[in-house]
Structure 1
Amino acid sequence: MTVPMGGIPLADHGAVYTALDRAGFTDLWSSEVAGADAFTPLALAAAWTPRLRLGTAITPVFTRGPGLLAMSAAALAETAPGRFALGIGASSPVLVRDWNAREFTEPFRRTRDVLRFLKAALSGATVDEAYDTFTVRRFTLERPPAVPPPVLLAALRPGMLRLAAAEADGVILNWLAASDVPQALGVVGERKPGFDVVARIFVCPTEDASYARTLGRRLITSYLTVPAYAEFHRWLGRAEVFDPMWRAWAAGDRRGAGAAVPDEVVDALVLHGSPEHCRSEALRYAEAGVDVPVLALLPTPELNTGGPEALLDVIGRLGGGARS
């Protein structure tokens, strides 16, 4: 499950994490956009739920210096030895440039260089290296983790997918349908031992299809008009489907852009229906080759009005069964 949950203060997430554990969830994966940072919710979970695996999906490679990113990852790996995975990625110009006042240049090479630096630094090595996009002089972690965390790479198109397969410990997929997974994994090729495929899956567990599709269209027009995601879906073969949305968006017609997204595309990218139906649809990703399907729970009318009890009920039904 993606954490933290919207509308629940971080200080109250202990009960949420316990409910996720009891419901059968095995992993908690954070994100880092404009809410909580990627590490704090997982640090709390490390103390409150000592058997859940923890991961970031993703921590941007531009918004922290390489040394600080290694320190944050090492601290969490020390807190939760053997059960933390660091997911990194390029993020987007809006998050990096507009919100964090950093240059967003050469995202592929920056991501590759940070990946190489982290693999060395988290092993405890002293890094004294001039990479293509930055230089690090004589950096050594004072507290290298006894169990270095695997480093996973967020990847959309072939170049980054091939980099993940060659140099990372796993790949993180996002904004794709279950039917798209084989195309992405075809580029990854044969996986080395321990290589994890993670996918974030948006779920809106309500049987109010009109509500779910309206929310789904809003998300799709917000995300898939970003150039990297637009190119991703062109590569997946959706140029003809999304061209009307992209043209309307470029013309400033936000309402027209949403209206141009067909129901079947919304249904494929944003799962909705009963919690049991969402769970069964999410399992299709596992059948397609995803090792860790990570649900991202969206608001629903029932959750908006039902309070914490409704959330706990949905968690239980999405999980599908208690863990021993």
Structure 2
Amino acid sequence: MDVGRLGVWNVGLRLGDAKRNAEAAAELEELGYGTVWLGGGPGVAEAAPLLQATSRLVVATGILNIWDHEPEAVAEQSAALDEDHPGRFLLGLGASHSALVGDRYSRPYSAMIDYLDRLDAAGSPAGSRVLAALGPKMLAASRDRAAGAHPYLVTPEHTSRARETLGAGPLLAPEVKVVLNRDLAAARDVARGHLATYLRLPNYTSNLLRLGFSEDDVAGAGSDLLVDSVFALGDVDAVARRVTEHFDAGADHIAIQAVTPEMTDVPLADWRKLAPLATAGA
């Protein structure tokens, strides 16, 4: 599956006006992006309209919550999409967070392995899925039971560590957050408005602490050090530098999340500015 050099990670493309979303997906394809990652816990069916609106673009779930969807149904729906759009649907799977799932959340790693076993039994190919992976065990499962990993809220240092665990071959497609604003203070304000929600989720804070950040860094809406490390802030050149850091650390593909004050925005203006990075070196 050719996911391309750069993709976009976005919630808004699975919400709101279907015509707007289809037109945006078609433009992203023309701009040279390889993949759209549908954020916010999508189901498989939500990829269909964007696949129908394009001819080459890969559409991925980023990430389907395993507690919300039975694997046999996911396997059937994925097979139908692949029949209609061969090689263009990527199933991203994740175990989500206890604060979001509630009482159903238990032993997430074991639950993921069981889910993968059931997908395998239903005939769903391992090569057409990736896992939301931060820690070593889930990264190893991404290597052994999937096509690779899609880490979220990470730094180039995490990308380097993930590549060590994955080894050569498996796809490593980290999400990278971007705020296009040369006013650093204003950019940090937007970043913190976005980041605060994630810093209330232990899976993310634990991973950031493993990377060497302090408890003070992950408190509240994050320290300047943390914000500047997990976001690319500034102009297109600043984003290009951060993207290069991830590629140098071992990434195969970058899923750009252009962060705005409203998470459900469809920030076409930002995607247009960043489009040259999608085809850089091509």
User: Normalised by the shorter chain, which TM-score bucket?
Assistant: 0.7 to 0.9
Q: In the alignment, is the contact (CA less than 8 A) between 1:77 and 1:149 conserved in 2? A: no
Q: In the alignment, is the contact (CA less than 8 A) between 1:119 and 1:151 conserved in 2? A: no
Matched with 1:278 is: 239
User: 2:227 matched to 1:266?
Assistant: yes
Matched with 2:190 is: 215
Aligned alpha-carbon RMSD (Å): 2.8
Q: In the alignment, is the contact (CA less than 8 A) between 1:66 and 1:117 conserved in 2? A: yes
Which residue among 48, 59, 67 is the counterpart of 1:62? 67
AA matched with 1:320: P
| Offset at residue 73 of structure 1 (A) | 1.9
Q: What secondary structure sits across from 1:174 in the alignment?
A: coil
AA matched with 1:104: Y
Unaligned stretches of 5+ residues in structure 1: 124-146, 250-256
Aligned equivalents of 1:24, 1:280: Cα separation in 2: 19
Q: What secondary structure sits across from 2:56 in the alignment?
A: coil
Matched with 1:254 is: none
TM-score in terms of structure 1 length: 0.75
* CA 1:49–1:206: 2 relative to 1, 3 Å: same
* CA 1:32–1:122: 2 relative to 1, 3 Å: farther
Matched with 1:108 is: 109
| Offset at residue 4 of structure 1 (A) | 4.5
User: 2:153 matched to 1:175?
Assistant: yes
User: Taking every aligned residue pair, what percent have the same amino acid on both sides?
Assistant: 24
AA matched with 2:118: F
Q: In the alignment, is the contact (CA less than 8 A) between 1:201 and 1:295 conserved in 2? A: yes
| Offset at residue 160 of structure 1 (A) | 1.1
| Offset at residue 28 of structure 1 (A) | 1.0
Give the structure with higher Rg (CA): 1
Q: In the alignment, is the contact (CA less than 8 A) between 1:204 and 1:300 conserved in 2? A: no
| Offset at residue 200 of structure 1 (A) | 0.9
Q: Which string of whole-angstrom CA distances, capped at 9 and with x for unpartnered residues, describes residues 237-287 of structure 1?
A: 21x2xx1256xx6xxxxxxx23xx332321111112123432342232122
| Offset at residue 105 of structure 1 (A) | 0.9
Q: In the alignment, is the contact (CA less than 8 A) between 2:92 and 2:131 conserved in 1? A: yes
AA matched with 2:31: A
Unaligned stretches of 5+ residues in structure 2: 1-7
Identify the structure with bigger relative contact order (alpha carbons < 8 Å, sequence gap 6+). 2
Q: Show the 5 A alignment for 1:120-269.
A: 120-123=121-124, 150-188=128-166, 190-192=167-169, 195-238=170-213, 240=214, 243-244=215-216, 257-258=220-221, 261-269=222-230
Aligned equivalents of 1:5, 1:217: Cα separation in 2: 20
